[in-house]
Amino acid sequence: MPGFFKNKHKKSNTTNENQTQPPSEQDFPDSIDVRLSNNLDVIKNKTGNSFDVIIRNVSIGLQPKIQTAIVYIDGLVDSQSIKDFLIESIIKSPDLQEKLIQQDPLEVIEDEALPFGSIRNAHDWVQLFSALMDGETIILVDGKTKVLVVDTRGGDRRSIEEPTSQVTVRGPRDGFTESIITNTSLVRRRIKSPNLWVEARKLGKVTNTDVAIMYINGIANEKIVEEVRRRIDQIDVDSVLESGYIEQFIEDQTFTSFPTLYHTERPDTVSGNLLEGRIAIFVDGTPFVLIAPAVFIQFFQAVEDYYARFDIATALRFLRILIFSISIIAPAAYIAATTFHQEMIPTQLLIAVAAQREAVPFPAFVEALIMEVTFEILREAGIRMPRAVGSAISIVGALVIGQAAVQAGIVSPAMTIVVAMTAIASFATPSFAMAISARLVRFVFMIAAATFGFYGIILGIIMLTIHLSGLRSFGVPYMTPMAPFILKENADTFFRLPWWALKRRPQLISEGNMIRVGKDQKPEPPIGRGMLKFTEEKGDQDE
């Protein structure tokens, strides 16, 4: 290596300045004041008198009356239960009013007044605000330096609907929602085992987003779990609005177009992966759950493969690999064949293609580029535009790409066929994350093909293979079980053997409890003709 390659830049030392700070955390008063009015002032100041912060002053107890306040955020709480139970039971119970004066009012309220599942104490402002922002209700009592936190989380949320990004013909219809609690419960309903462990985190200094790490203790590899924990705990960012934020902090390599974390909005996919020893990362506010570690072949396994019979599933897997290769190299192959290797095309076909290209004013590469870019624009427009104008795009698209461009002689019909095939192929890839990376790689292959022909395509494939083999997902080789080759695990890669033959979990991902199917599970008809005799006899009797 020449000297100038050597990096002479000194890395600037990371200091505390570079770390994110939640705004004005230091402004908090030291602790909760004895006087209620002071405390309420603090709350009002801190929340900037936001209209959705509701402060309800209540006087309880007989003489002397005790000043209390109920604080919650409108919309985040279940307002029905606050009205019905919380306020009602504090104010209206006569027995209670008596006790309140004699004993510690907080304890009385906590023990006797509130019919809620979760009540706890908070002692400082940080806890108080964090609970308030989560949708819990705070009860402050005059003269006390601690507060009650009542779990009244609720409010309006999207109900469970069928996932739109991963559709199956056969399989459960429920999909994740934006609520982390709903999401984890959807998985728990499927895996009813105490070994399904969930670890909670709060990420984002400003957003304080709930993040949960879910895995099955005893099946997941403890080293990988530890690695996930380490990477998540390292994240220092002000906000987490979607699981994509976390994905980019914890993936092994940034400079690759291939996804090294799987994401899904299907609880059955998550459950299946947990049972293979993988780890799910739930983020509040998004229906997309991350799964780690992810390997290359996983992106070609639709969840329905495991519900369909094995021969069908295997055929579909091969089809998907074919689809993926088409979506990567079809335009490149067209360019290479028509500008470098005309001898490879059968004469009749060559003449047909040549006749079409006779009037086209562009080289094949430019032609392909125009069409591919046009298609990408159409697709992007199709996704982003308002639903109401959807049909306009399809009309314009069909006319521009299909009809007018060909008739005007700008592009050849053969190119249109290639682009259309590529487009359909990229839609047929089961994982959108993989399809979208294929879209990028396709252009690289097109350039390679325009430069060196098939030689360039082969070079590209070699480089792609090297790149893929070098990737890791949480330390697990991306191409496993092809590279490193593990024969037994190829039972569930390109092939999907019947369930009774999938005896072991993937060994690089799972650890400990490896057996998932018992011995001698292959179904067989009963020996002899016993069944047949039985039905015959029965038939005779009926007669």
Partner 1 sequence: MNRGIVLLLLFSVLILLSGCWSKKELTDIAIISAFGIDKNDKGQYVGTIQVINPGNVTGGQQDGGSSIGPPINVYTETGNNLTEVSRKFSTGISRRLYYAHTNLVVVGERLAREDGILRLFDAMDRDPEFRITSEVIIAQDMEAKDIVRTITPIDKIPSNKVIKTLKSTEKNWGTHLRANMKDVLNNLVSDGKEPLITGFRIKGEIDQAMKMANIEETTPKAVLEAEGIALFRNGKLVDWLQGSTARGSLWILDKIEKTDVNINWQEHEEAIAYEVIRQKTKVLPKIYNEEPLITIDVSAEGDIGEVEIPVDLTDPLVLVKIEKEVEKEIKKEIQEAIKQAQKNKSDVFGFGEVVQRADPKLWKKLKSDWNSVYFPELVVDVKVDAFVRRTGIRTKSFLTEIEENRK
Binding site for partner 1 (CB under 8 A): 4-7, 9, 338-340, 342-343, 347-348, 350-360, 363-365, 406-407, 409, 413, 447, 450-453
Closest distance of CB 445 from partner 1, Å: 13
Question: How far, in Å, CA of 454 to CA of 349, rounded?
Answer: 18
Q: Which is nearer to partner 1, 347 or 535 (CB)?
A: 347
| Residue placing its CB nearer to partner 1 in the complex, 256 or 513 | 256
Smallest distance, Å, CB 5 to partner 1?
A: 5
User: Residue 331 Cβ, how far from partner 1 at the closest point, in Å?
Assistant: 16
Q: Residue 154 CB, nearest distance to partner 1 (Å)? A: 49
For residue 511 the two structure tokens come to: 């650890």
Joined together, the tokens standing for residue 62 give: 């007989």
Q: Where are the beta strands (DSSP E) in 287-403?
A: 289-292
C-beta closer to partner 1: residue 196 or 336: 336
CB nearer to partner 1: give 360 or 471: 360
Q: Can you say how many angstroms the Cα of residue 212 is from the centroid of all Cα atoms in its chain? A: 12
Q: Which is nearer to partner 1, 28 or 455 (CB)?
A: 455
Min CB(408)–partner 1 separation in Å: 10
Residues with Cβ < 8 Å from 110, sequence gap 6 or more?
119, 121, 148
Strand, helix or coil at 473?
Answer: strand
Residues 480 and 471 sit within 8 Å (Cβ to Cβ): no
- Location of structure tokens 């330390």: 475
Q: Which is nearer to partner 1, 175 or 331 (CB)?
A: 331
In terms of Cα–Cα distance, which of 117, 149, 115 is closest to 135?
149
Q: Measured from the CB of residue 121, what is the shortest distance to partner 1 in angstroms?
A: 51
- φ, ψ for residue 316 (rounded to 5)? -65, -35
Please state, in angstroms and rounded to a whole number, the distance separating the CA atoms of residues 464 and 257.
11
Task: Return the structure tokens found at 130.
Answer: 């964090």
Instruction: From 69, 76, 71, 78, select the one nearest 115 (Cα to Cα).
Output: 78
Distant-in-sequence, close-in-space partners of 434: CB < 8 Å, separation ≥ 6: 258, 259, 299, 300, 324
In the bound state with partner 1, the residue whose beta carbon lies nearer, of 342 and 465, is: 342
Cβ distance to partner 1 smaller for residue 359 or 514: 359
Give the nearest distance from C-beta 346 to partner 1 in angstroms.
9
> Least distance to partner 1 from the beta carbon of 237, Å?
22
Computed on alpha carbons and rounded to an integer, the radius of gyration of the chain in Å comes to 31
